[in-house]
Every structure is written in C-alpha cells, then in structure tokens.
C-alpha cells in the first residue's frame, strides 16, 4: 500500500499531518519530504496523526526524529497522535516515548497545548 500524506493547519496554528499506510524504507522519503516542506514554509508546530499507519519501522522513526530536530531548531514541536499498540510498541522498544509527545487524539493534543500556554 502506498503512503498517503495530507496536512492542514488548525485555527490555533498546529499543522496536522494525516499519514495513512505503511512507513518503511520505501515510503519514508515521502513523509520526510512533507516534513521538510512544511518547515520550509514556516510551519514549526506539527502534529502527526498516525492512527491510520499500518506499519512503522526504524526508517520511519528516523524521519520523525529528523523532523523533530528541524522544528526544534525553530523552537517548534513535533508530536504524535497514536493509540495503536503495534505502533506504540516500536516507540517503547526504542525509548522514543521519552522524546515524542504522544496523544490519544487531536483534541487531547490541543487541550494539552492550551494547558502549556
């Protein structure tokens, strides 16, 4: 299955990236290009919705870490929406649950963001 990547920006300035499909060594470059493109357009607060991601490997993790590095250079953020145990397991094995903010839903992420302001 090909990777589908779409984005939109909410009223409170978060750019939500909906990702659907498998993120692996073949498809990860598409997500990387999207993240780089958004940062180049000045979008520094990113929320990657991974609820429709069917597969994620270390190449995909690398792309997310690279995106986080890029937005942090602009005092931005890159957080995730994910409740799928099969995907969360990869973040736990690699210790990346300590690196990414991981939320249950878009609304949950927005609420926590408001609370931090």
By CB under 8 A, name the binding residues for other proteins: 22, 24-26, 28-29, 32, 55, 57-59, 61-63, 65-66, 68-69, 86, 90, 93-96, 98-99
Q: How far is the CB of 49 from other proteins (least distance, A)?
A: 21
| Shorter beta-carbon distance to other proteins: residue 40 or 115 | 40
C-alpha dist (Å) from residue 86 to 10, 83, 89: 28, 9, 5
Quick check: 103 and 79 in contact, CB under 8 A? yes
* Least Å from the CB of residue 86 to other proteins: 5
**What is the maximum span of the chain, computed from C-alpha positions, in angstroms?**
39
Spatial distance between the Cα atoms of 93 and 116, rounded to a whole number of angstroms = 28
The CB-of-17 to other proteins minimum distance in angstroms stands at: 17
* Tokens standing for residue 29: 């470059």
Cβ closer to other proteins: 14 or 28? 28
């Amino acid at each position: 299955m090909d990777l589908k990547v779409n984005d939109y920006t909410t009223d409170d300035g978060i750019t939500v990236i909906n990702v659907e499909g498998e993120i692996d060594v073949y498809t990860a470059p598409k997500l990387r290009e999207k993240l780089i493109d958004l940062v180049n357009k000045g979008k520094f607060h990113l929320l990657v919705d991974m609820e429709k991601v069917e597969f994620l490997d270390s190449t995909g993790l690398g792309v997310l870490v690279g995106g986080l590095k890029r937005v942090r250079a602009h005092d931005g953020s890159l957080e995730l929406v994910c409740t799928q145990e099969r995907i969360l397991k990869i973040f736990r094995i690699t210790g990346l649950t300590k690196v990414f903010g991981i939320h249950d839903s878009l609304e949950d992420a927005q609420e926590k963001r408001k609370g931090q302001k």
